Chain A
Amino acid sequence: MSALLEVEGLVKHYLVRGGGGLFGAPVVLKAVDGVSFSIPAGRTLGLVGESGCGKSTTARLVLGTLARDDGKVVFDGEPVGAVRDARWRAQRRTMQMVYQDPLSALDRRLTVGKQVMEPALIHGLGTAAERRQKALSIMDAVGLSSRFFDRYPHELSGGQRQRVVLARALILSPKLLVCDEPISALDVSIQAQVINLLLDLQDQFSLTYLFISHDLKVVRQVAHEVAVMYLGRIVERGDPEALFHAPAHPYTRALVGAIPTPLTRGRARASLQGDPPSPINTPPGCAFHPRCPRAEARCRSEAPLLRPLDDGRFAACHFPVLSTPAREAA
């Protein structure tokens, strides 16, 4: 299976004002600092991490809506750039984005039907009648009845709005959907509906997903492969079951151990101390070492590379945790 999306050595640094107020010397904020992954067609990569780890920036770099400083993005055999020329626009058709808050992603003054048809109109696809037909069939596929066609976003519930956002992305028959926290704004009983819908749509339209979330429980539900980010880098990547049951990187271990679930109630947690450091002053060596319970001298001086482990997973750690499942150890 060849990869639909290949990302190699992606870098995005920002110059921001440092300490010392208005006249402080500019310092470098490393939002994304050498991220590589690939997603085979029809599969889902889950990108997880806490706020500020660079997961959303990675999404924008992949889509070419933000110019990268270094690295390579190849989508469907073609390089993706951030120069908005004809080829960039053509690529837009096949890679679409789904955001967290459906209400702010929708135009409140346009009916549902008009919004769903709009991308097809912009890309000049079909006649008006064909666009209407296509919109109705996509709305049906995302579980929106045709009676919503002439409604406005404010008349819909949160779950229905997210279905409109999905319909609007799907009308262009994209190959890749980049979903940035697509269900975080939804209520628990609606989240499951949308997760199941995303899985069904993937089957029906052979979609490839880059699925970004802070919620590991949701990512496990949808992803074929998971990448964990910390301070602009991927620290662990691999099969979700292996990664969640026996995390190799101490950060993944802490992340998985921190999730409260009804299944794990009453069990002691190995809590991580402190806050994540700012991406402006990343510590030397491994960026995680100040919070890491396993850190040794080498971790403070030498940044670990993302290397393969025996079971096919990748971890960027000098002393990865091998075998012992975290939940039993906890």
Chain B
Amino acid sequence: MTSPLVELKDLTVDFPVGGNWVRALHGVSLTIRRGEALGLVGESGSGKSVTWLAATKLLPAKARIAGEVLLDGRPIQGLTRDQMAGVRGKRVALIFQDPTSSLNPVHRVGTQIAEAVRLHRGFDAAAARAEARRLLDRVHIPSAARRIDDYPHELSGGTNQRVMIAVALAGEPDLLVADEPTTALDVTIQAQILDLLAEMRRETGMALVLISHDLGIVADITDRVAVMYAGRIVEEAPVDALFDDPRHPYTQGLLAALPDVGGPRRRLTAIHGQVPNPAALPPGCSFAPRCPAAIAGCVTAIPSLDAVAADRRTACFRARPATSLEIAA
């Protein structure tokens, strides 16, 4: 068996807060297979963005990171800054929420795409510009020949996100990490960008990690979903299994709290309480204080993320077979 494209093993991140270390990520293990689309969902502060910023070494130096990140089965910890720069962008590309602030406002968009092409693929200036032009066409920017010399402020938010995707594609990456790529966009433009991401994945065979707070978006274009809560993955499953048969009470709660445009109109079932402060997590399962299914064992021990079915993992004492439930109780 070949090694997976990316493997995160027991990744932890601590940030210094007022003289103390506050743990933002509590041992995240995750595997990205070649060509697959993984959704990473969670609310603000759940650690979904920090996971990937830590894995690509983009966190500020003051953050303390532990654990292992493997690319093609090889650890990236030992890489120098220069070697890491060759991984980021080339092997693993990232796009973020606000395209207009990710682009350089004083450079033409064509120049910014061409820069990525030269950097990652060693093209000369003329060839890079031709490639930039081709990439603009590929991300379906109308009249690319004219737009190539525009500045970001002359383009709409949706078009700028297309430019960002073109920059990301410039290095022909094996993995695209898209962090809330459509959150700043209107719903009809969001649909266009989601369609574009799906199309690019079909054409290039690259893997996609889609980070989002929106379960609808994740359901739309991913194959597998990991749900995060308070710095841990609490459930991981193929997309249909997760939405048809959520096992973790937090996932169940999120789905019950979600309004829909179709189906019968019902009163939403809210999850009571709020996300815990990372500096003062409850003992035991972080979700226990809000969990309708919590039992005595949930407030004393932290459930590990264990397999509950083929290709499914859940971190919940109540989601286990009866035997371990009895032990926990």
Contact = CB atoms under 8 A, between A and B. Distances in A.
Interface residues of B, number: 45
A189 B158 contact: no
Nearest to A264: B262
Contacts of A159: 274
Interface stretch (B69-77, B189-197, B302-310): B189-197
A220 B261 contact: yes
Interface stretch (A31-39, A106-114, A251-259): A251-259
Interface stretch (B99-107, B164-172, B216-224): B216-224
B186 A260 contact: no
B112 interface: no
B204 interface: no
A157 interface: yes
A272 interface: yes
A267 to B, nearest CB: 9
A187 B156 contact: no
A19 interface: no
B192 A271 contact: yes
B272 interface: yes
B259 A196 contact: no
B214 interface: yes
A195 B274 contact: no
Contacts of A245: 262
| Interface residue SS majority, chain A | helix
A216 B216 contact: no
Given A189-B271, A258-B187, A260-B194, A265 B243 contact: yes
Interface stretch (B30-38, B48-56, B250-258, B318-326): B250-258
Contacts of B217: 260
Nearest to B269: A192
A241 B270 CA distance: 22
A261 B262 contact: yes
Nearest to B44: A187
Interface of B: 43-44, 142, 156, 158-159, 186-192, 194-195, 213-217, 219-220, 239-240, 243, 253-263, 265, 267-272, 274-275
Which 7 residue pairs spanning A and B have beta carbons closest together? A192-B257, A258-B191, A260-B220, A192-B270, A50-B186, A265-B219, A260-B216
Given A189-B43, A259-B187, A275-B189, 16 more contacts: A187-B44, A187-B275, A188-B215, A188-B257, A188-B258, A189-B274, A192-B258, A192-B268, A199-B267, A220-B261, A260-B191, A260-B214, A262-B260, A263-B263, A269-B195, A275-B158
